[in-house]
Amino acid sequence: MVGTDLASESEKKGRRRYIIFLLVSFLIGSIGGLVLFTYLSPDTLKTSASGKVYAESQPVGSMVSYTNPEEIYKLFICPCCGSTIDALCCESAIERKAYVDGLLDAGLDKTEIMVKMTSRYGLDSLASDSLKTEVREILIERAPEDRPQLVIYPKAYDLGNVSVSGGVVTTLVHLTNKGKTNLVIDDMETSCGCTSASIVYDGVEGPLFNMREHGNNPVGWSVSIRPGDTAILKVIYDPMVHPDLRGTVTRLVTIYSNDPIDPQTTFKLRLNQVD
């Protein structure tokens, strides 16, 4: 009888342990489901312009990186109007926003999107000086020590009063390679048909570049500037292209090179057009 009683007691203890195990498993599953429901509830999810769902916030310690499209759009500006790209104020803003949407769909985080946008559109595409400093430091850290480095002087120039009757005005700008390997410039464009630009190096002047939308810019051209050398950027403004224009005028010349930190560098021309 003693053996039978011991066996019965052992069975009872086994059943109690099994019941406790079931209860603990149920509680753990319930708590996990509640956390997941809370995190993925409609209040914490939003949808990007391209249809991708992202989380606006995430739990501390989460290894998943989500990016808010509306936040990213505010980091970049349109080159012609200065508004952030979500304003869709022109074709340039629409193009840049579409590029950002593609990077978001590829799963890139905020930092990598800024780096990609800078590589494509230059540091001036960023909306603030603090962002430019932040991204520049990242690019410097990633760039090789012997990189080419384009330095423009001056970065901007004010012609003062420019008379329509006075005709074409020319400005000369220095382009210096401060790096350790050859600086290759292979493209340029201006922001308006009234402005054109060429590069003079080693006594040879390259072809004229104008507004890209006109479709007549040179193709396949390049110039290689040796370390320490300086070339001349010749910027030409023709007031007769817009003879009725009066007042403040701002025009841009964008230079494309193999400088990994400043692949697109911009020179800004200002003037006041008068009779």
* Whole-number pLDDT of residue 60: 35
Contact 254, 189 (CB under 8 A): yes
> Residue 42 falls within a domain, yes or no?
no
pLDDT in tens, 111-150: 999 999 988 888 888 999 999 999 989 998 998 989 999 9
pLDDT in tens, 210-228: 998 887 899 999 999 999 9
> Residue 252 falls within a domain, yes or no?
yes
Query: Do residues 168 and 104 share a domain?
Result: no
The residue-averaged pLDDT of 69-74 equals 93
Q: How far apart are CA 16 and CA 19, in angstroms?
A: 5
**Which is nearest to 157 in space by CA: 220, 75, 251?**
251
* Whole-number pLDDT of residue 164: 95
- Check pLDDT > 90 for residue 7: no
Contact 185, 257 (CB under 8 A): yes
Confidence of residue 161 (pLDDT cuts 50, 70, 90): very high
* Whole-number pLDDT of residue 52: 47
> Residue 40 falls within a domain, yes or no?
no
Q: Which two tokens stand for residue 140?
A: 């410097």
Query: Do residues 180 and 268 share a domain?
Result: yes
Query: Do residues 118 and 79 share a domain?
Result: yes
CATH of the domain at 216: 2.60.40.10
* Whole-number pLDDT of residue 20: 66
Domain containing 120: what range? 47-142
* Whole-number pLDDT of residue 4: 47
Percent of the chain with pLDDT over 90: 61
Of 40-49, 134-143, 155-164, 183-192, minimum mean pLDDT range: 40-49
Highest average pLDDT, of 26-40, 44-58, 171-185, comes from: 171-185
Q: How far apart are CA 105 and CA 191, in angstroms?
A: 30
Q: How far apart are CA 75 and CA 29, in angstroms?
A: 42
Query: Do residues 136 and 161 share a domain?
Result: no
Sign for the CA dihedral angle at 55, 60, 62, 68 comes to positive
